[in-house]
Amino acid sequence: MNKAKTCFITGMTDGLGLAMAGQLLREGWIVFGGGRRPERLDALHKEFPHTLFPLYLDVTDASSLLKAKEEVARRTESLDMVINCAGVFREGCDNPLETTDVEAALSVMDINAIGPMRVTKIFLPFLKKGQDPVLVHVSSESGSLTGNTQQHRYDYCMSKAALNMFTVLLRHDLPPLGIRVFAVHPGWMHTAMGGPKAPLSPEESAKGILSLAKTTGRAEDPVFFDYDGSVHPL
């Protein structure tokens, strides 16, 4: 019998992360993950009481991630997929520089760019033991240096550009260890972050991203994609 595949997801309590968790669970995966509001996973947990493991985690707080790691380690020593999905778009982020709260920008960098470094460092030993393992970074077109059309949004764009660079650097290190890695723009989705006018459902984006996760991320592949599988300029 094939062993069930295992995944760890940050930002799993809402929007895209929640949609990806649901799709993986329906495919028979064992899913660990959460956010600062793990109670938001109660309904999904009732549906998948034996394969969903909701966890409290704050990607800015290494001690919460180490506790999450202990919970994962009680059940498995390997992960086949890790998805860094947690992210924030700060209110007031659209302001011009003159009225930008530069100090508040630090927390956005901490969550969107440094958080994935913390998570990846802690869970890398699990990925190393995974089956065709893959690391997925949910980035944004806002982080593209050559394709950016946004105005203002300094901290959000800069944080996602840093996440893309983290992905580029990991592309040197992880494929030689047998771990695939790529970054993806999930599209403009109607989530708490994207708002109700967005054209795309998180479920549709999740489907595209999980399909990419099955194939790409090797040394010879492009690094940055749109959720629909097309290559995005870095």
Ligand X SMILES: NC(=O)c1ccc[n+]([C@@H]2O[C@H](COP(=O)([O-])OP(=O)(O)OC[C@H]3O[C@@H](n4cnc5c(N)ncnc54)[C@H](OP(=O)(O)O)[C@@H]3O)[C@@H](O)[C@H]2O)c1
* Residues of this chain that bind ligand X (CB under 6 A): 10-17, 35-37, 57-60, 85-88, 111, 138, 140, 186, 188-189, 191-194, 198, 202
Identity of the residue numbered 225: F
Structure tokens at 51: 């394969």
DSSP for residue 234: -
Please state the closest distance from residue 35 (CB atom) to ligand X, in A.
3
* CA–CA distance, 39 with 51 (Å, rounded to integer): 16
Partners of 183 in the β-ladder: 137, 224
Please state the closest distance from residue 219 (CB atom) to ligand X, in A.
25
Helix (H) or strand (E) holding 10: strand 6-10
Sheet holding 52-56, edge to edge: 52-56, 30-35, 6-10, 81-84, 134-138, 180-185, 224-226
Please state the closest distance from residue 1 (CB atom) to ligand X, in A.
33
195 CB-side CA count, 13 A:
4
- Give the nearer residue to ligand X in terms of CB position, either 59 or 127: 59
**Total residue length of the chain:** 234
Please state the closest distance from residue 42 (CB atom) to ligand X, in A.
13
- Give the nearer residue to ligand X in terms of CB position, either 150 or 218: 150
Please state the closest distance from residue 79 (CB atom) to ligand X, in A.
17
- Give the nearer residue to ligand X in terms of CB position, either 91 or 220: 91
- Give the nearer residue to ligand X in terms of CB position, either 6 or 191: 191
Report the Cα 44 to chain-centroid distance in Å: 19
- Give the nearer residue to ligand X in terms of CB position, either 108 or 174: 108
